[in-house]
Amino acid sequence: MRTMRLEFRLAVFFGLLCYSQSFLFPITRKDVAVQQRIFAQKATTENEVALRTYSYKFKDYNVTYRYKPPAPGHERDAPLLLIHPVGIGLSSWFWENFMDAWEYGGPVYAPDLWGCGKVEDDDHLRQMPSSSFPDRWVDACENMLSLSVDSSTPKKSLFPFVGKSWSSSSTTSRWVIVAQGGLAPIGVRVVHRNLSQISHLILTSPPTWSDMTTTVPRKDLQRNDQFLRSPVWGSLAFRLLETRWAVSFFSNLFLFASNNVNDTTRWLDCVQAGVGPAQRYAVMAFNAGFCQQTSNEKELTELPQPTLILQGDEDKSRNRDEYVQKMKDCRIQTITGKNVLPWESPDTVCRAIREFLVK
């Protein structure tokens, strides 16, 4: 919790430092819309063969997800469900590098979590309490599991692009859940609530054991939420932190390793294409600490599924040994990178996951 408070204050502090940048390089809603159209057209052209985007109705909103078909000969391999981090401009595009590198495995699904990516009804988001966001994220992930894998009841495929329904009675592979960073609590809850449908759990750069098992006091949650939802101070903070300069500054400071060789321009383009007033509510819920409004200790200690934790060699929070000590079946592997390993080191992450799944 202390770490969360420090990062929260640093975000506001450095956001204010870049205040002048927002005047020198202002970003209007029209600019964002143009960026989104340009990037969407570019992404569709570059990935139209390998990656596809689909959506379906779930409860009161549309779930949009990226999909990569299984490699030839791997049609019966376990499907992967990727849970992206929540932050300014982030959505399922975060997994593109990883999905491109996933060459010899089963199908991959990367949904946009509620309030991230393309948002159609910002009024609805505004009216929902921040405390409800984590539960909705879990529900949407669970729904994808039930739609795609149901070994007991064959039914018409809801994913016709696959060629044959993953819900057919011949499907025996269970899901693999991969959750990034601060969304580890969501991944853990999805697995704990669906033990029979999931075989493995992978957490990339998760919070420390203490952060995962310590509940954030309600008064702190309320204070953080009130600040972030403030039409004055919260709005000002977001307008500052959404500038390209601020995104670049924080990415280099907290996310990327010093020897990062990835195209940071593409990262910045993706982030800025995903920002907007409607996308702020999910970020508010996450930054206020609502993923930690309850402890995850019970779920973590009860999980029978083999769990792999991937952490970067430049990650300053590499004190995750308690996971191994207190979970039933957990191992830790350190690879090149810092805090966004699937983006920084996609080939290494893919190799680590493939080796983990065959052990």
CATH, residue 110: 3.40.50.1820
In DSSP terms, 54 is beta-bridged to: 65
Q: What is the pLDDT of residue 108?
A: 96
Q: Which residue has the tokens 């949009």?
A: 64
Identify the pLDDT of residue 148: 55
C-alpha 271/C-alpha 266 separation (Å) is: 9
What's the pLDDT score for residue 157? 40
The torsion angle over the Cα atoms of residues 332, 183, 340 and 289, rounded to 10 degrees, is -110
- 131: containing domain: 2-358
Tell me the whole-structure pTM to 2 decimals: 0.82
Residue 358: both structure tokens together? 């065959």
pLDDT at 319: 83
CB neighbourhood size of 109 (10 A) = 24
Instruction: Name the nearest CA neighbour of 89 among 218, 238, 207, 193.
Output: 238
Per-residue CA distances from 244 to 87, 194, 249, 265, 270 (Å): 14, 40, 9, 10, 11
Positions in the chain short of pLDDT 70: 1-50, 120-121, 147-172, 261-262
**pLDDT given for residue 258 in this prediction:** 83
Measured between alpha carbons, how far apart are the two ends of the chain, in Å? 35
pLDDT at 127: 86
160-171: pLDDT as tens digits? 333 333 333 334
- Is there a contact between 182 and 205 (Cβ–Cβ < 8 Å)? no
Q: Tell which phi-psi region holds residue 337, choosing left (phi > 0), alpha (psi between -120 and 50) or beta.
A: left
Q: In angstroms, rounded to a whole number, what is the distance separating the alpha carbons of residues 322 and 81?
A: 25
Digit-coded pLDDT (tens) for 52-83: 899 888 888 888 999 999 999 998 999 999 99
SS3 for 27? coil
C-alpha–C-alpha distance, residues 67 and 102, integer Å:
12
Total structural domains within the chain: 1
Q: What is the pLDDT of residue 156?
A: 39
